[in-house]
Amino acid sequence: MDKPPLTSAEIGMLWTQYMQNSMSVQILKYFQETVEDKDIQKVIEGALTIAEKAVNEIGHIYQQEEMVIPFGFSEADVDLKAPRIFTDPFMLAFVENLSTAGMLAWSISQGTSTRSDIRNLFTGFLTENSSLLNVAIDTALSKGLYIRPPYVSKPNKIEFIEGKKYLLSGLSPFKKRPLNNIEITHLFQNIKTNSVGEMISTAFAQTTNSQEVMAYMKRGKEISHKHKKIFAEFLSASDLSTPMTWDNGITDSTTRVFSDKLMMFLIDVLSASGQGNYATASTASMRYDLVINYQRLSVEIAFFAKDGLEIMIDNKWIEEPPQAPDRDELFHK
């Protein structure tokens, strides 16, 4: 039986996954060349296998559907002979972050697809990313590298929210209620993801030859550091410890590793992921001061991402996503 045409959602998700995984392949190949710890190397190889498989299988679908395969990223976007810029613990943390974001991306792809073969493809990669995340966490735990969320006392009774004071207490300059566990979770996770962003921006600023890209990466580093500090202050105010991160995750190498195109694209992906994380955290938080901060910081990321997009467009570094036909243009032909 003939398969129905791909929907706009399926074409869009296939394009997005192809672009992001072709980028991941180049990063993970460099990790594979520079990692020293054998156990962490196995995690990186597992991540690389998934990314390469995604590129190949999505490329095959493009051929079957007689669509133009995106240019994406290639070996021209990475220097595998460049000196080591990331430490092993940071590489492991990056793969953990990559697999977590991958699970969300594959889940959205699956949920917006209609054809069974496309859904099965996305479901398979969702499962593989879930397994990769477990391996990354187990490896980090075995080496004492995993950053655990804060510990709190266990609940011993059921309580109901009484009045709007529960929501408004965060706005009081005098007495704020303690953070609930859901709020703690989002603050903690956003500190971790901003730590990854800060380290990546530092490494990219350190190794690019472009003054424009260097300035943009420094700005990204400053934004990540500021956001991390704001979230940590919320935890400290509730007498909770802030997570230790990979302050030594970057070496002192200044040799160029990745193309400016790849570096800018990765920061764009991380910015979009950060906005999504903040939107989720804002919705889940029940203290208005948290909600206000997530929303205002999300706006800052949006402006940062917009400026990055303009840099990529000016330098012709970004491919145009598939889109609906321009009827006005067709009418005038």
User: What residue ranges do the domains of the chain occupy?
Assistant: 8-142, 175-314
Q: Residue 128 and residue 37: Cα distance in Å, rounded?
A: 23
Cβ(244)–Cβ(191) below 8 Å: no
pLDDT at 327: 53
Cβ(240)–Cβ(152) below 8 Å: yes
How many other C-beta atoms can be found within 10 angstroms of the C-beta atom of residue 42?
A: 13
pLDDT at 175: 75
pLDDT at 249: 85
Residue written as token pair 């990331």 = 86
Q: Which amino acid is at 129?
A: N
Cβ(190)–Cβ(307) below 8 Å: no
* Gyration radius of the chain over CA positions: 21
pLDDT at 2: 75
pTM metric for this prediction: 0.92
DSSP assignment of 86-119: B-HHHHHHHHHHHHHHHHHHHHHHHHT--SHHHH
pLDDT at 196: 94
pLDDT at 134: 97
pLDDT tens digits, one per residue of 174-224: 678 889 999 999 999 999 999 999 999 999 999 999 999 999 999 999 999
pLDDT at 149: 83
Q: Which two tokens stand for residue 231?
A: 């979230």
Which listed CATH number (1.10.287.130, 1.20.1260.10, 3.40.50.1100, 1.10.3720.10) goes with 8-142? Answer: 1.20.1260.10
pLDDT along the chain (333 residues), means of 10: 89 97 98 98 98 98 96 97 96 95 94 96 97 97 89 80 68 76 95 95 97 98 97 92 72 97 97 95 93 96 97 96 68 59
CATH architecture group of domain 175-314: Up-down Bundle (1.20)
- Greatest distance between any 2 Cα atoms in the chain: 72
Measured between alpha carbons, how far is residue 83 from residues 249, 250, 272 in Å?
14, 12, 29
Q: Residue 265 and residue 247: Cα distance in Å, rounded?
A: 24
